[in-house]
Amino acid sequence: MRIRLPIALLLAGAALLGGCKSKPVSPAHQLSQAAKGPAKNLPHDIKLLFLKGSCERGVFSPDGRSALALCTQPEGPALPQLYSVDLDGFSEKRVTWQDGSIGSADWLENDLLVYASTTDELKEIPFLPTKPPPEEIPSDLYISDRVGDSIDRLTKRIGFDGDLSYWPRGKEVLYVSRRGKDDLIQRINGRGKSAIVYHSRGRSVRSPAGLANGQVAWLESSPDGSGVDLRFSGMKEPRLRGRRLLSLRPAPGGQAVIAVESFADGSARVLLVGAPASCERTLAEVPLDLRAADGSLNPPRLLLSVTTGTQGVFALKELPGEGFSCPPPAASVK
């Protein structure tokens, strides 16, 4: 039975409502999978973690010991559901049990989660003569505890609200709102009050990320169609222009963002980029089909979401002492 609680109460803090059965991943399974395909050519400091299903868009928990992930399981529904993955014990717990698919998720404070789901939109468009396929159904934002027992709907307008991230500075959620040809980046607080951050005027935007100084970064299709731009609010020109940028996440500390850039040869790199021109450096070069990356300070490392064949897997990469400082400390510059 779904229990709906007031949004303000959820954001202020909620007690966990029980446990959830874990699905351990045996070391033998990890080793047998890691011996296959591109894993043989990985740098020694990148370690693959294969779960039972196919998982993507991993996001570190605040303490860095677990992650949220969108996963499909061999015996489960074909649509992605939200899972919590223990990165120390190599186990996973299913958080959502919904008719629709989960499109993005992030951690809030007090052990709460925010995610985008199509589940209610599926039920609210029966009047359409031909119902679109599930992956094309618009979505809404939801807040829940970390086991998925207490759920509250944050947005309730028909259309796409998703591609979200949490912004600790104002205790708000940043998200993309898509109605018609224009994309909006909006922010919403725990009382359900929203405001427009950016209006794209006909260009596609995604992956909004908030910084500690009040700026918001996002990815936007280049006007000339040459690629994707990385933009910061308050800056007239793009910070990066016409690149093959796939995803964006706020870096730990809130001074920069983590961007994934792909190349024609199938490799990719993870960039740390801030608004100042001096803040740009490569955190990792990955000889894999990398789709997204997130960072943690406990310890300083990256969670990489990669694709091997038809399976989405995670990889962990430890970072050197400077971590996510941007620019790095002068003593570390050679």
Q: How far apart are CA 277 and CA 292, in angstroms?
A: 23
In the chain, the number of structural domains is 1
279 forms beta bridges with none
Is residue 174 within 8 A of residue 168, CB to CB? The reply is: no
| Segment 7-33 mean pLDDT | 39
Q: What is the pLDDT of residue 75?
A: 79
Residue 292 sits in which domain range? 22-332
Sequence-ordered list of residues with C-beta below 8 angstroms from that of 302, at least 6 positions apart, any chain? 258, 270, 283, 284, 293, 294, 295, 316, 317, 319
Cα–Cα distance, 257 to 230 (Å, whole number): 10
The Cβ-side half-sphere exposure at 146, using a 13 Å CA radius, reads: 22
Backbone angles phi, psi at 38, to 5 degrees: -70, -10
Q: Where are the alpha helices (DSSP H) in the chain?
A: 7-12, 27-34, 119-124
What count of other Cβ atoms lies within 10 Å of the Cβ of residue 41? 8
Instruction: Tell me which of 10-24, 127-141, 170-184, 317-331 is least confident.
Output: 10-24
What are the backbone angles phi and psi of residue 30, rounded to the nearest 5°?
-60, -45
Average pLDDT over residues 225-245: 96
Mean pLDDT of the region 281-289: 92
Q: What is the pLDDT of residue 331?
A: 47
pLDDT (0 to 100) of residue 216? 97
95 token code pair: 């958080």
pLDDT at 41: 66
Does any domain span residue 16? no
- In-domain check, residue 15: no
Taking CA atoms, 249 is separated from 287, 297, 302, in Å, by 21, 14, 11
The CATH number for 270's domain is 2.120.10.30
Put residue 220 in one of left, alpha, beta given phi > 0 → left and psi -120 to 50 → alpha.
beta
More confident residue, 55 or 190: 55
Contact 185, 218 (CB under 8 A): yes
Average pLDDT, the chain: 84
Note whether residue 12 is domain-resident. no
- What is the per-residue pLDDT for 330? 57
What pLDDT sits at residue 39? 55
Query: Is residue 310 one of the residues assigned to a domain?
Result: yes
- In angstroms, the CA 259 to CA 227 distance is 14
Of 51-55, 228-232, 262-266, least confident by mean pLDDT is 51-55
Residue at token pair 């020109």: 237
Q: Please tell me the least confidently modeled range out of 53-57, 64-68, 329-333.
A: 329-333
Residue 322 lies in a domain: yes
Whether residue 305 is contained in a domain is answered as: yes
132 lies in some domain: yes
Per-residue pLDDT, 36: 46
Q: Burial, 117: exposed, middle or buried (Cβ in 10 Å; 0-12, 13-18, 19+)? A: buried
Per-residue tokens: 94 = 């299913």
The C-alpha atoms of residue 128 and residue 133 are separated, in whole angstroms, by 12
Give the pLDDT confidence score for residue 277 in this predicted structure: 86
Domain annotation covers residue 1: no
Whole-number percent of the chain with pLDDT over 70 = 82
93 bridge partner residues: 84
